[in-house]
């Protein structure tokens, strides 16, 4: 039994390595900038959704306010860069740290809430964050911040001529978020989180400190999402509150995980790989009519997938996985 378990863990790791290697080769074949753009976004949302999944999927604390951490990552990086000349790499880490601290600060009162009340609180807090940034003069208020062009360089993490560096960073971030999840899944934290999700009272009776588990999940999740936000800001080279902290980001982090399989290792990646290209393609091919046909098509597809596979797309693979698996 233990052997099977170890084998499954190893197989997941090998599959991930192969997929990452294949993805790294993609730019050799994809020269179209528009498609490259879609690939970057897909990888980024896969990473974000994977991070969201740690708090909401594994630990069961559904957040629809992760746009806040995304925005904090973006703003911290750009404010530090434009106001103090701090390199985006450091800004990125600072943003992650600040987001993690804020997530824990918010968790302190809100982790006492259960179910729908917690979800509502996350939405409200993210909206408050958005309003604060829209009115914060020093941070550019509603006009936002334009990131000054200093020429292509890895040091300043800025590339005007090619999307490829962004592509590789997004791929690395996606691998990082996946690996962190993989690693945590078979750790004390991973078990604690799933126990808290399934039954907090029973978890408590088995020595699980429920509150601390939630705080840990929130911190890791927010940190990784903020790194994603910092990346997105550099990628856009311009940020304003709505374009890095809008509610749609909260949704686009949750949807891939939900469609792919919430609380699973592969769900977010699988969900993002289908959902994000679908979003972009429907928009560019049928979105021009101005009548929202793209959204109708998009929405219908989501409804169909959820109806057909309520456990998420990963459940398509779960039959073969169930043998000797520990979940």
If phi > 0 it is left, if psi is from -120 to 50 it is alpha, else beta; for residue 115 that is left
Q: Residue written as tokens 């560019």?
A: 284
Task: Select from 87, 65, 72, 63 the least CA-distant residue to 136.
Answer: 72
Give the contact letters, 77-116, x = binds to other proteins (CB under 8 A), - = no: ----------------------------------------
State which of residues 97, 204, 247, 283 lies at the interface with other proteins (CB under 8 A).
204
Q: Judged by CB, which is closer to other proteins: 153, or 311?
A: 311
Distance in Å, CB of 272 to other proteins, minimum:
22
Distance in Å, CB of 32 to other proteins, minimum:
42
State which of residues 79, 102, 203, 313 lies at the interface with other proteins (CB under 8 A).
203
Q: Contact at 8 Å (CB) between 262 and 310?
A: no
- For the chain, the straight-line distance linking the first and the last C-alpha, in angstroms and rounded, comes to 12
Q: Does residue 1 touch other proteins according to CB under 8 A?
A: yes
Distance in Å, CB of 115 to other proteins, minimum:
16
Distance in Å, CB of 128 to other proteins, minimum:
32
Q: Judged by CB, which is closer to other proteins: 205, or 289?
A: 205
If phi > 0 it is left, if psi is from -120 to 50 it is alpha, else beta; for residue 210 that is alpha
Q: Residue 176 and residue 36: Cα distance in Å, rounded?
A: 20
Q: Residue 24 and residue 15: Cα distance in Å, rounded?
A: 14
Q: Does residue 296 touch other proteins according to CB under 8 A?
A: no
Site for other proteins in 210-229 (CB under 8 A): 210
Other Cβ atoms within 10 Å of 98 Cβ, number: 18
As to burial, measured by CB atoms within 10 angstroms (0-12 exposed, 13-18 middle, 19+ buried), residue 308 is exposed
Q: Does residue 306 touch other proteins according to CB under 8 A?
A: no
Q: Judged by CB, which is closer to other proteins: 153, or 199?
A: 199
Site for other proteins in 4-43 (CB under 8 A): 5
The token duo for 144 is 């936002």
Q: Does residue 260 touch other proteins according to CB under 8 A?
A: no
State which of residues 136, 179, 191, 247 lies at the interface with other proteins (CB under 8 A).
191
Residues in the chain: 327
145 by DSSP, 3-state: which?
Answer: strand
Q: For 134, list phi and psi in degrees, rounded to 5.
A: -65, -20
Give the contact letters, 122-161, x = binds to other proteins (CB under 8 A), - = no: ----------------------------------------
Task: Select from 141, 133, 166, 134 the least CA-distant residue to 152.
Answer: 166
Site for other proteins in 170-189 (CB under 8 A): 186-188
State which of residues 197, 216, 270, 294 lies at the interface with other proteins (CB under 8 A).
197
Q: Residue 71 and residue 253: Cα distance in Å, rounded?
A: 13
Q: Does residue 319 touch other proteins according to CB under 8 A?
A: no
Distance in Å, CB of 214 to other proteins, minimum:
13
Distance in Å, CB of 186 to other proteins, minimum:
6
Q: Residue 256 and residue 132: Cα distance in Å, rounded?
A: 28
Binding interface with other proteins (CB under 8 A) = 1-2, 5, 186-188, 191-192, 194-195, 197-199, 201-210, 263, 324-327
């Amino acid at each position: 039994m233990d052997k099977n378990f170890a084998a499954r863990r190893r197989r997941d790791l090998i599959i991930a390595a192969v997929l990452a290697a294949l993805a790294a080769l993609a730019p050799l074949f994809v020269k179209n900038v528009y498609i490259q753009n879609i690939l970057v976004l897909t990888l980024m949302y896969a990473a974000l959704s994977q991070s969201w999944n740690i708090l909401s999927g594994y630990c069961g604390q559904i957040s629809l306010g992760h746009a806040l951490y995304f925005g904090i990552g973006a703003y911290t990086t750009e404010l530090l860069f434009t106001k103090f000349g701090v390199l985006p790499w450091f800004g990125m880490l600072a943003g992650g740290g600040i987001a993690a601290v804020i997530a824990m600060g918010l968790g302190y009162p809100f982790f006492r809430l259960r179910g729908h009340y917690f979800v509502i609180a996350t939405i409200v807090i993210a909206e408050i964050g958005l309003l604060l940034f829209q009115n914060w003069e020093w941070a550019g208020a509603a006009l936002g911040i334009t990131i000054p062009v200093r020429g292509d360089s890895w040091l300043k993490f800025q590339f005007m001529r090619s999307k490829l560096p962004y592509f590789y960073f997004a791929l690395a971030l996606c691998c990082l978020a996946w690996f962190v999840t993989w690693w945590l899944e078979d750790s004390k934290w991973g078990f604690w989180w799933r126990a808290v999700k399934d039954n907090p009272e029973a978890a408590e009776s088995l020595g699980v400190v429920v509150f601390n588990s939630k705080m840990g999940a929130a911190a890791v999740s927010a940190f990784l999402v903020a790194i994603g936000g910092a990346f997105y800001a550099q990628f856009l080279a311009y940020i304003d509150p709505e374009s890095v902290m809008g509610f749609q980001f909260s949704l686009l982090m949750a949807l891939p995980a939900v469609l792919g399989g919430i609380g699973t290792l592969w769900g977010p990646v699988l969900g993002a790989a289908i959902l994000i290209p679908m979003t972009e393609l429907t928009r560019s091919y049928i979105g021009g009519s101005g009548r929202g046909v793209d959204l109708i098509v998009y929405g219908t597809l989501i409804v169909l997938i959820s109806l057909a596979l309520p456990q998420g797309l990963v459940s398509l693979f779960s039959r073969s996985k169930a043998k000797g698996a520990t979940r």
